[in-house]
């Protein structure tokens, strides 16, 4: 029953947002609702399953903290701004089919949000009053990932605010080691739920979020879009791509020791 409840709430919320974008012609806030809806589902699972165990409490804290950080960050970035370039280009490309296609975009986000929130189920369903090394390791990993993702976002925002950096590429800080450190730490945050649920009944279900977000960030909406867009606005991006890891942090190529012949 709880699965049907969360799915129904998701569908209603995203359909409502689709109607809003039909009027405003701004689909940017689908990303905000995606993050917020996952936090809401975590609260519903916690309440429904009575997850007052250490696993449940720490999972709720981590999920809500992530939800508030990301949804507030995205809201501040998008508030009173034109439609995000990703959705603007899609609207131009789709033309008269925009309404129908954006409906599918919103429904897809509703389904993905629901699917990723399943990661919480084994942790809230576990009723033992005892914690475990995996629980605390995963929680520490998740909190670290959230803070490092926030740091990556801050470094990018600070870089963009400086007019002298217009058309340049950010290749310092965390962005020196990955072209998308914010995406990597987002994935790492989701991986932490699988670590926290290690050894629990249906614990493998807690890896669903990590698998789904990795596929989306590396194959569908994240890296592929940035790869196509960046050369248009940053001429030196090709050089950055040649020396910097796309996802997993790694020293730039010019700093790696040369292999012996």
* Mean pLDDT for the stretch of residues 44-71: 94
Q: How far apart are CA 131 and CA 136, in angstroms?
A: 8
**Helix 98-117 / helix 208-215 crossing angle, nearest 10 deg:** 150
Tell me what pLDDT residue 190 has: 98
In order of 27, 169, 171, 238, the CA distances from 235 in angstroms are: 28, 9, 14, 7
Domain ranges of the chain: 1-130, 132-253
Tell me what pLDDT residue 260 has: 43
Tell me what pLDDT residue 239 has: 84
Q: How far apart are CA 39 and CA 33, in angstroms?
A: 10
Token reading at 239: 């050089």
* Mean pLDDT for the stretch of residues 67-86: 89
Nearest Cα residue to 63 out of 138, 162, 13: 138
Q: How far apart are CA 112 and CA 10, in angstroms?
A: 10
Residues 168, 93 contacting (CB under 8 angstroms): no
Tell me what pLDDT residue 234 has: 61
Q: Is 60 exposed, middle or buried (0-12, 13-18, 19+ CB in 10 A)?
A: buried
Range from 5-19, 35-49, 61-75, 76-90 carrying the lowest mean pLDDT: 76-90
Range from 88-92, 218-222, 225-229, 246-250 carrying the lowest mean pLDDT: 225-229
* Mean pLDDT for the stretch of residues 196-210: 95
Strands (E), 133-173: none
* Mean pLDDT for the stretch of residues 155-165: 91
Q: How far apart are CA 56 and CA 122, in angstroms?
A: 9
Percent of the chain exceeding pLDDT 90 equals 73
pLDDT band at 261 (very low <50, low <70, confident <90, very high): very low
Compute the mean pLDDT over every residue in the chain, rounded to the nearest whole number.
90
Q: What is the pTM of this model?
A: 0.90
């Amino acid at each position: 029953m709880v699965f049907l409840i969360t799915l129904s709430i998701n569908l209603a919320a995203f359909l409502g947002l689709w109607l809003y974008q039909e009027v405003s012609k701004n689909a940017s806030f689908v990303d905000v609702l995606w993050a917020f809806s996952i936090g809401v589902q975590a609260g519903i699972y916690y309440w429904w399953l009575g997850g007052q165990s250490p696993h449940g409490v720490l999972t709720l804290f981590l999920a809500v903290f992530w939800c508030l950080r990301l949804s507030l960050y995205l809201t501040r970035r998008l508030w009173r701004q034109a439609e995000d370039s990703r959705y603007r280009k899609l609207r131009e490309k789709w033309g008269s089919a925009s309404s129908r296609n954006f409906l599918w975009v919103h429904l897809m986000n509703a389904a993905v949000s629901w699917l990723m929130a399943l990661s919480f189920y084994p942790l809230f369903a576990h009723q033992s009053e005892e914690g475990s090394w995996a629980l605390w390791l995963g929680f520490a990993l998740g909190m670290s990932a959230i803070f490092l993702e926030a740091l990556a976002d801050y470094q990018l925002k600070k870089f963009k605010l400086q007019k002298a950096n217009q058309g340049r590429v950010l290749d310092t800080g965390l962005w020196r080691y990955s072209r998308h450190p914010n995406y990597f730490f987002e994935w790492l945050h989701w991986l932490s739920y699988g670590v926290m649920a290690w050894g629990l009944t249906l614990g493998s279900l807690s890896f669903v979020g990590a698998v789904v977000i990795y596929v989306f960030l590396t194959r569908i909406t994240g890296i592929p879009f940035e790869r196509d867009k960046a050369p248009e606005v940053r001429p030196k991006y090709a050089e950055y791509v040649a020396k910097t890891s796309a996802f997993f942090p790694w020293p730039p190529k010019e700093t790696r020791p040369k292999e012996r012949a």
